[in-house]
Structures are given as C-alpha cells and as structure tokens.
Structure 1
Amino acid sequence: MLIFYGVISSSQALYASEATAPQALNDDEITVVSYDESDYNDPLMGFNRAIFAFNDVSYRYALIPIAKGYRYITPDPVETGISNVFANIKAPIHIVNHLLQWQPRKAGSSTARFLINTTIGIAGIFDPAAAWFSLPKNETGFSDTLAHYGSGYGTFLVLPFVGPADLRSGTGIVADYFLNPIPYITEQPDSSYIMAGDKLQAFAPQAESYETLRAKSDDPYLFFRNMYLQGILRDQQYQPSADNNKPDNK
C-alpha cells in the first residue's frame, strides 16, 4: 500500500494541482515566452533523468490505468463531491500559510470557507461558501510562504514518486504534509489509503493529458522539465497581481 500511495503521490508536483506550482497567467496576458537553455537550472540532470524514467513507468503502468478506471466508474457529480471533500479537509494548510505570509484576511476567508462547507456543505461535499457567500478558494502552501520571504526555487529536481519539482516546492510538500489533518484524525493504514485516494482523484482528470504530451515529445524528460521551469521563470518575469505577494494587512 505504501508503494501504491507513493505512485499516486506523483500527481502532486507534475500537474501541481495545489500551491506548490507556478501560477498560470490569464488568457489576456502574455503566455508565450522564450529562454536560453542556460536559464534552466538543472545540474542534477543525470539523477533527474533516472528518476523521471522510473516515475514514467509508474505513471504508464500503474497510475494512469487506475485513474482511468476511477473516472470510468465514478459519475461526474460524485467525482466533484470527492474532490470538494479533500479540498475542504486540507483547509488548515492554506490557513496556516496565509498567516505565515501575513495575510490575515485570506486566512479568515479560508477559515470561514472551511466552517461553512464543513457544516452547510455536509463535510465539504458541496461548496456553499463560494455559491452563496462569494468566498472563493485562496489556496496556498509552504512553498508560497518560502517565496514570500524571498526564497528562490533553487534547482530543478525530479523526486521519486513525486515527479517534477524544485528544492523550494519539495520542501513545501514536506512541510504541508505535517499541516494536513488526515494523518492526525485517522490511524494507519487508513490514513495512507485516504491520502492515496486524494492523490488519485487529483491526478485522474490529467491522466490522458500526460499520455498525449508524452507521445508528442521526442524527449519527454526535456519536454516536461522545460514546461515546468518555463512556468517558474514566466512567473518571475510576469506577475499577474502584485497583491499576491504582499501582506493584506487586514
């Protein structure tokens, strides 16, 4: 089961469904940028390629087939409800990191979302906080906290079972794990099963995209590395909102 959980965990960094990933720009902003190869900091390429190859086999022969099966047997409304439950239970990650970033207003909004969705939304299955109270998601993580205090991404790093990442996001993944309530409210092996289910439902919508992108690239490692690093470098060059990196002071 630990191996299964580790394989499913690879979705977290590859598609960066949560706070460790670079933010995507809006459609009306510049999205096409180019960089010299020297801009990509990848001194561990030999190690990274080996881990990428291992992860790639795990994707294609374990994670993707499981994800496709999950989507096939799970109705869309149920899939949405499951996603909502996991997003809601991880609210403490966002709340604590907003406080660490001196953003009490966002921390308060995230706390209100958690309370509303846990009660009115029936353990987070539904999202009345957004639908009825206009409280949108404000997701963040320890990687964003490190960036808030000036930490760079360090270097590109492919982690076993985690996938494309960097030193900062890798540190963030570890720190956020200890803020995740699931290990504290359930015992082993149940907590591993639940967290594996979380990674599965998060990755499932992206499974076919991975296959498509991989099939179109001559060198999958370079393709996914460059895509990941371009997102980081783009966000360093184009800031969608200056307020995202400032304390809200409220």
Structure 2
Amino acid sequence: MKTIKPQIWMLSIAIALSGCSSVPEEESTFSESKVSDPFESFNRSMWTLNYEYLDPYFVRPVSLAYVNYVPSPIRTGISNFLGNLDEPASMVNNLIMGNGSKALDHFNRFWINSTIGIVGLIDIASEAGITDHNEKTFSDAVGHYGVANGPYVMVPAYGPWSVRETADLVDNMYVPLSLLNFWAGLGKWALEGMETRAALVNQEALLDNSPDPYVVARDVYIQRQDYHAEIETDAYNAEEEALLDEYLEEF
C-alpha cells in the first residue's frame, strides 16, 4: 500500500507558518480563482476539530513524548529508514517530470543507503554529498503537466487533501512501498507525523495570531502542492520560494 505522507492537518500549519512569517497575508495566499474550496463550511468544521481538539489533547502530547523519551540515535535511524522507502518512487516521478539529475540522485541514494547504510538506517548518501531533493509523488508529476489540484478537502484527523492527490496511489507500484501492508504504512505515517509536529512547537504562536488560520493554511497548502509540482505562480515570489524550500527541507 502507499505509505501515507505525514500530511496530517498539522502539516498545513507548517506550511502556513513559513508563509505568514515572511510576507503580509494578502501576498502569502492565492486568489479565490486558484483555490477550489466548494466544501468550505465542512472544511472549517474539520479544521476546528483537528486544530482545537485533536492536536492539543492528543497529537501534540504524543508527539512530544516520542521526541523527548526516544533516544535521538534511534529516532534518526527510524527517520532515515522511512525516508529511504520513498526514494524509488521519487526517482520515477522525477523522471516523468524531466528531472534526470534528481532522479539519478534518488537512485544512488536508495542503493547506497539500502546497502552500505544498512537498509537505510544510516544516511551514507548525504554524507557522500548526494542531495536529498525531498519526496516527489505521482500527483506532483501529473500536476507538473497541467492537471489541476481539484477541490480542497480538510479530512478529519488527517488534514489537507486535494483530489489530484488520488494519483499518488500509483506509487503503490514501486518497491519497496508496494511491499508494505496497511499497518506498516500506518506506522510510517504516524512516526513521520510525530517528528513533524514536535518540530513546530516553538512556532505555534505564529499561526495562533493569524487573522484567519484556516485561510492561511489552505492557501499555502495549495501553494505547496504547486511548488512540489514545479509550477510557477504569480503569487509565488523568489523570497517566498527560498523560505518555503528551506522550511520544507525539515519534512
């Protein structure tokens, strides 16, 4: 099965923070014509559920407990291992997008870390100077060629999602993701999600102080989708791109 990316609702907060900390709100969001949100009433209700209840009473404390009590070397090994599972899919999707050099980097990262790095537990490839270009999914690839995001949906307990992301099911076809069963995929999603959430603790106030956190999170989430699909937009200036790229390297 596809190993779900850690795009629980808190990931929308992560992207929102990078936007609202650098530019005024009117410059950090898309125009209404570029964001399809036909279910806004429902989405706002789910945002409230995720942001005001699930996070403070479950996701945040569990994530902090994981980070605070699991030794750092163990967490690093787990993170390296899970990230290594995405390398073949990223290789194929970069090839589809015409990024030959990036595809080669993902190929080399996978075989080096899977062998010398002990099935990915040690990131030998990064030590050797082979760049990690971040995960690319099949929805990024089709988006690169003009397939729109489609309606935006805030999924309860999971977070932001767009219809185009259904295409990510294609990544099931690539080993080793295709070898994971439901529980393995769920574990990957949970562990990566906890690392992501814990990293945001010091920046929570930025979103809390936003006039409309839902709108900021929604618009920048769609912006991130286009960023990963390597789509240029009028609202995406060079300053934002550099900041967003640096911030998203944490994921």
1:158 maps onto 2:154 in alignment: yes
**Structure 1 segments (4+ residues) deviating >6 Å:** none
The C-alpha deviation readout for 1:108-161, integer Å capped at 9, x for no partner, is 2211111111122222222221222x2101231122101221112233321233
Q: 2:110 aligns with which of 114, 123, 127?
A: 114
TM-score, structure 2 as length reference: 0.70
Q: Corresponding residue for 1:135?
A: 130
Are the counterparts in 1 of residues 84 and 120 from structure 2 also a CA contact under 8 Å?
A: yes
- What is the one-letter code of the residue matched to 2:141? T
Q: Corresponding residue for 1:236?
A: 233
1:81 maps onto 2:74 in alignment: no
In 2 relative to 1, CA 176–13 (structure 1 residues): closer, same or farther, beyond 3 Å? farther
The structural deviation recorded for 1:52 is: 1.5
Q: 1:148 aligns with which of 140, 144, 149?
A: 144
Q: Which stretch of structure 1 is more off in the superposition, 58-67 or 149-158?
A: 149-158
Are the counterparts in 1 of residues 13 and 217 from structure 2 also a CA contact under 8 Å?
A: no
1:64 maps onto 2:57 in alignment: no
For 1:50, what is the secondary structure of its paired residue? helix
Q: Which stretch of structure 1 is more off in the superposition, 152-161 or 43-52?
A: 152-161
The structural deviation recorded for 1:190 is: 4.8
What is the identity percentage for the equivalent residue pairs of Structure 1 and Structure 2? 28
1:201 maps onto 2:195 in alignment: yes
- What is the one-letter code of the residue matched to 1:44? F
1:220 maps onto 2:216 in alignment: no
Are the counterparts in 2 of residues 183 and 191 from structure 1 also a CA contact under 8 Å?
A: no
The C-alpha deviation readout for 1:78-122, integer Å capped at 9, x for no partner, is 333321111112212202212322434332221111111112222
Q: Corresponding residue for 1:96?
A: 92
Q: 1:51 aligns with which of 39, 43, 46?
A: 46
Give ranges in structure 1 of 5+ residues lacking alignment: 242-250
Give ranges in structure 2 of 5+ residues lacking alignment: 242-251
In 2 relative to 1, CA 228–197 (structure 1 residues): closer, same or farther, beyond 3 Å? closer
The structural deviation recorded for 1:61 is: 1.6
The C-alpha deviation readout for 1:2-25, integer Å capped at 9, x for no partner, is xxx99x761585267xxxx89x89
Query: In structure 2, how many angstroms separate the alpha carbons of the residues matched to 1:179 and 1:159?
Result: 26
Query: In structure 1, how many angstroms separate the alpha carbons of the residues matched to 2:205 and 2:10?
Result: 19
The C-alpha deviation readout for 1:177-226, integer Å capped at 9, x for no partner, is 564735614x55455334432333343323553x4344323543233224
In 2 relative to 1, CA 160–93 (structure 1 residues): closer, same or farther, beyond 3 Å? farther
- What is the one-letter code of the residue matched to 1:120? I
For 1:106, what is the secondary structure of its paired residue? helix
- What is the one-letter code of the residue matched to 1:203? R
Query: In structure 2, how many angstroms separate the alpha carbons of the residues matched to 1:159 and 1:52?
Result: 8
- What is the one-letter code of the residue matched to 1:192? L
Count of matched residue positions in the alignment of Structure 1 and Structure 2: 223
Are the counterparts in 2 of residues 9 and 161 from structure 1 also a CA contact under 8 Å?
A: no
Query: In structure 1, how many angstroms separate the alpha carbons of the residues matched to 2:216 and 2:189?
Result: 29
Are the counterparts in 2 of residues 97 and 145 from structure 1 also a CA contact under 8 Å?
A: yes
For 1:236, what is the secondary structure of its paired residue? coil
Q: How do 1:175-194 and structure 2 match up within 5 A?
A: 175-176=170-171, 179=174, 181-182=176-177, 184-185=179-180, 187=181, 189-194=183-188
Query: In structure 1, how many angstroms separate the alpha carbons of the residues matched to 2:123 and 2:213?
Result: 37
For 1:221, what is the secondary structure of its paired residue? helix
The C-alpha deviation readout for 1:28-58, integer Å capped at 9, x for no partner, is xx96636685344422211211222222222
